[in-house]
Amino acid sequence: MEIGGIVAYLVSLAILAGIYAVFTLGLNIQWGYTGLFNIGIAGFFCIGAYTSALITTPMPTGIYAHYVHQIFGWNLPFLLGILGAAVVCGLIAFLIGIPTLRLREDYLAIATIGIAETIRLIFNNERWLANGPRGLMGLPQPLQEMIDPRHYNYLYLIIILLILVIIYLAIERAIRSPWGRVLRAIREDEISTAMSGKDIFSFKIQSLIFGSMIMGIGGALYAHYTKAISPDVFTPLYGTFIIWVMLMVGGSGNNKGAILGAFVVWGIWTGTKFMTDLLPYTLKARAPYIRFLLIGILLEIILVYRPQGLLGEEKKVSKMMEE
């Protein structure tokens, strides 16, 4: 492979790792700081991607209208797509939080699995909504007219990294505020936090909404990278499980760890592809399963032997505190 090819490959790897890092940051708010067990990330991923796709694409006209059905197409700019994705995901998180956040913690997990599966089923079966199993294609990319399409990925990587930095700084600020300290207090000890006069349910639902909005942004970024989305992308494996492994590997409760985990695990995931390419032809079709099996084992090893992940939690969250 020539050097240009390798660079282009690394750029595409970094783009996807960057998008996954947005998800791990969102999950870190929910799990790392508040202890909310959301295993329906794929649902927010899916909703974020589709919302932004519907907002930014035009309504199909002429012959396309026979083949592509979508509930609306507003042809608006990329940034409004991202905003819409965040708002809709926040709304879904609010609705799912109401029945579950007052109950024992694993009910939220079960309910989020349910919402993720239900969302995928709806997009798969309802053709009028977003073209059913065939999904939507030809999504616009921001600033695409400014640069040669062959080099567009460099620009998109810069956009992703910019958004990642903004989200990182926003979360760091929120977490180091009194609000963020209440979240951590809830995670550590709900009862004594409630006794200090904090409304546990309200803080939990805020955390769930905040994290899910960031996941929605991740979904939108993904959709505009691949330019085509269909419901079969948002499976529990690619949409939920790998993101959990990333956060656990990097270190939950640490935003730098969350980003690091996304890059490390995505690196392992793509790196092992080269190894399975060496397998005999008959085994190759099943190679992704072997790689996912290894990722699953990685999660179990982390849980048993290094639950704090690579970086571990940052204990000091206030600059007023002494070292």
Partner 1 sequence: MAELFIYGVVLGSIIALGSIGLTLVFGILRFANFAHGDLMTAGAYVALFLVTGLFSWLGISDNPFIPLSFGLRMLFAIPISMITIALIAILLDRILYQPLRKKKSGTVILAMAALGASFIIQMAVLILWGADSLFYKPGVLRPALELPLEIKIRPDQIFIILIVSLSIAILHLFLKHTRMGKAMRATADNPELARVTGIDTGRIIKWTWGIGGGMAAMGGILYGIDVQLHPGMGWGFLLPLFAATILGGIGNMYGALIGALVMGVVQQISTAYLLPTYKPAVAFIIMILILLVRPQGIFGGRS
For residues 129 and 151, give the distance between their C-alpha atoms in angstroms, rounded to a whole number: 33
Which of residues 77 and 99 has its CB atom nearest to partner 1 in the complex?
A: 99
Cα–Cα distance for residue pair 93/157, rounded to 1 Å? 28
The SS3 assignment for 76 reads coil
Check residue 275 for interaction with partner 1 (CB under 8 A). no
Please, which of residues 78-117 interact with partner 1 by CB under 8 A? 99-100, 103-107, 109-111, 113-115, 117
Instruction: Give the residue with the Cβ less far from partner 1, 172 or 190.
Output: 190
What is the four-CA torsion angle of 202, 206, 212, 216, rounded to 10 degrees?
130
Do the Cβ atoms of 97 and 209 come closer than 8 Å? Answer: yes
Q: What are phi and psi of 141, to 5 degrees?
A: -115, 145
State which of residues 58, 173, 297, 306 lies at the interface with partner 1 (CB under 8 A).
297
Interface pick for partner 1 out of 195, 304, 320, 321 (rule CB under 8 A):
304
Q: Which residues, listed in sequence order, are joined to residue 70 by a DSSP beta bridge?
A: 130
Please give the DSSP secondary-structure letter assigned to residue 28: I
Which residue in 123, 67, 321, 142 sits closest to 239, CA to CA? 123
From the CB of 222, what's the least distance to partner 1, in Å? 21
The only residue of 241, 263, 266, 269 in contact with partner 1, by rule CB under 8 A:
241
Q: Does 133 bind partner 1 (CB under 8 A)?
A: no
Distances in Å between the alpha carbon of 67 and those of 2, 60, 132, 231? 40, 9, 11, 17
Of residues 11 and 109, the one with the C-beta less far from partner 1 = 109
Per rule CB under 8 A, is residue 124 in the interface with partner 1?
yes
Three-state SS for 70? strand
Cβ at position 304, least distance to partner 1 in Å: 5
Applying CB under 8 A, among 9, 77, 125, 158 the residue interacting with partner 1 is 125
- The Cβ of residue 128 has, within 10 Å, a number of other Cβ atoms equal to 9
Pick between residue 78 and residue 241 the one whose CB is nearest to partner 1. 241
Q: Find the radius of gyration of the CA atoms of the chain.
A: 20
Number of shown-chain residues binding partner 1 (CB under 8 A): 40
The answer to the question of residue 122 lying near partner 1 (CB under 8 A) is yes
Question: Nearest distance from residue 317's CB to partner 1, in Å?
Answer: 21
Residue ranges that bind partner 1, judged by CB under 8 A: 35, 37, 39, 99-100, 103-107, 109-111, 113-115, 117-118, 121-122, 124-125, 236-237, 241, 244, 248, 285-286, 289-290, 292-293, 296-297, 299-300, 303-304, 307
